[in-house]
Structure 1
């Protein structure tokens, strides 16, 4: 698809590089972003990987580069809770001519703070209901939307609804970047999958992911996993 959007995020070579022995540069995915840049798909990009692999750190750095509030929300959001995101890196965002500037970040670990900040009754809903309500209200039309582990808030049915919403956004011309532990969300049709780990970032196919294989094996024979926990 050839349409306006964010084409690439790369290091600003006009400034001194950050120390490579300090976090977040010690995260292989971040080091790869700095060294080689990150091409973003015109539709959906899905990041998968173990806890601590750097998925969330990467999403937070992308949000900062795009000018979004790193704790959640849009450019104008003033949400501040307990800061966990890294200091911004000097990154350059390469956009296609006419690319929309609207964007939004949803981070699972700061969602309750976002509910309270926005008001409008979000904080009176359950975690999953609040997430889906904000998704429907704020993520609309062309723009770029970042979601960090949205599956943590959602049931199976809620994840199906999320995938339907992401597909609708892509059909409207939006870009989405999703970090997830869910094989259901990772199966988002048409998405480019990047597996995050000690190697940095590498393209992957859904049916070849360790995530997919582990869940398939567990659901086929849960006792084969559970007996090792006793």
Structure 2
């Protein structure tokens, strides 16, 4: 049966990999990867730093044709080549529908995207300035959080495929809740999201699949069973006790 979701599943071409001891194939999230099915609305990758979730997300984005440092498929700049070769070993299954738009956000290199927009707008063009699609105000003239919200509210639209790597990096808890509401609006307008995050607020989105990256590989996990939820819950339930345990000598 044909699927209308933009991104259906991902599989690793294990037979083409000659050495699982070298990077990035040695990463826990990659080493045991076989096949993974995406949720038609929102898929989260969570896990500790170094587990491989961002490397996996980057490979998905590059396999889909996005620039490794972020942006839409029209961006082709490269400040510094830092992405792995993992995208060459992934097989992505897509639905019969094609997204109307899409974007790859990397929190760590969003500054580079903002700079590239200014470079593009400094060149002669017959079309409108690129920055108009982001609200018309330079992203460098806004805080990191403000510029990301401008991206989400102005550039993102319905029927889109969005790959987000740690979008909460510059956002206050209140702004993270605003992002959740915007994601929900876009999902209701036919969009699909794949997100790597540490935020227990974002991963609480009710209609989503969460994949946890651990030393044993990648596996689905319930929201309440994530370390992010449990650690946050336990700390907020009794901060004084949690701090006593954490800080005692």
Tell whether the 8 Å contact from 1:7 to 1:94 is kept in structure 2 after alignment.
yes
Matching residue of 2:12 = 11
Matching residue of 1:32 = 32
- CA deviation string 1:52-72 (max 9, x = no partner): 111111110111111111110
State the number of aligned residues. 226
- CA deviation string 1:169-193 (max 9, x = no partner): 2111111011111110010120111
Matching residue of 2:108 = 109
CA distance in structure 1 between the aligned counterparts of 2:105 and 2:77, rounded to whole angstroms: 12
Matching residue of 1:93 = 92
CA distance in structure 2 between the aligned counterparts of 1:118 and 1:225, rounded to whole angstroms: 45
TM-score, normalization: structure 2?
Answer: 0.84
Tell whether the 8 Å contact from 1:108 to 1:152 is kept in structure 2 after alignment.
yes
Which structure has the larger Rg over C-alpha atoms? 2
The equivalent position to 1:149 in structure 2, one of 150, 166, 183, is 166
Matching residue of 1:21 = 21
Question: Which ranges in structure 1 are unaligned for 5 or more consecutive residues?
Answer: none
TM-score, normalization: structure 1?
Answer: 0.91
Matching residue of 1:215 = 232
C-alpha RMSD of the superposition: 1.8
- CA deviation string 1:137-159 (max 9, x = no partner): 22211131111111111001110
Tell whether the 8 Å contact from 2:101 to 2:157 is kept in structure 1 after alignment.
no
Pair 1:229-2:228 in alignment: no
The equivalent position to 1:201 in structure 2, one of 218, 238, 242, is 218
Tell whether the 8 Å contact from 2:166 to 2:198 is kept in structure 1 after alignment.
yes
Matching residue of 1:51 = 49
Moved more, 195-204 or 220-229: 220-229
Tell whether the 8 Å contact from 2:72 to 2:103 is kept in structure 1 after alignment.
yes
Pair 1:127-2:144 in alignment: yes
CA deviation after TM superposition for structure 1 residue 42, in Å = 0.7
Tell whether the 8 Å contact from 2:180 to 2:205 is kept in structure 1 after alignment.
yes
Is the partner of 1:116 in helix, strand or coil? Answer: helix
Matching residue of 1:41 = 39
Matching residue of 1:79 = 77
Matching residue of 2:123 = none
CA deviation after TM superposition for structure 1 residue 18, in Å = 4.7
Is the partner of 2:88 in helix, strand or coil? Answer: coil
Matching residue of 1:185 = 202
Tell whether the 8 Å contact from 1:101 to 1:143 is kept in structure 2 after alignment.
yes
CA deviation after TM superposition for structure 1 residue 229, in Å = 3.0
Question: Which ranges in structure 2 are unaligned for 5 or more consecutive residues?
Answer: 119-130, 132-137
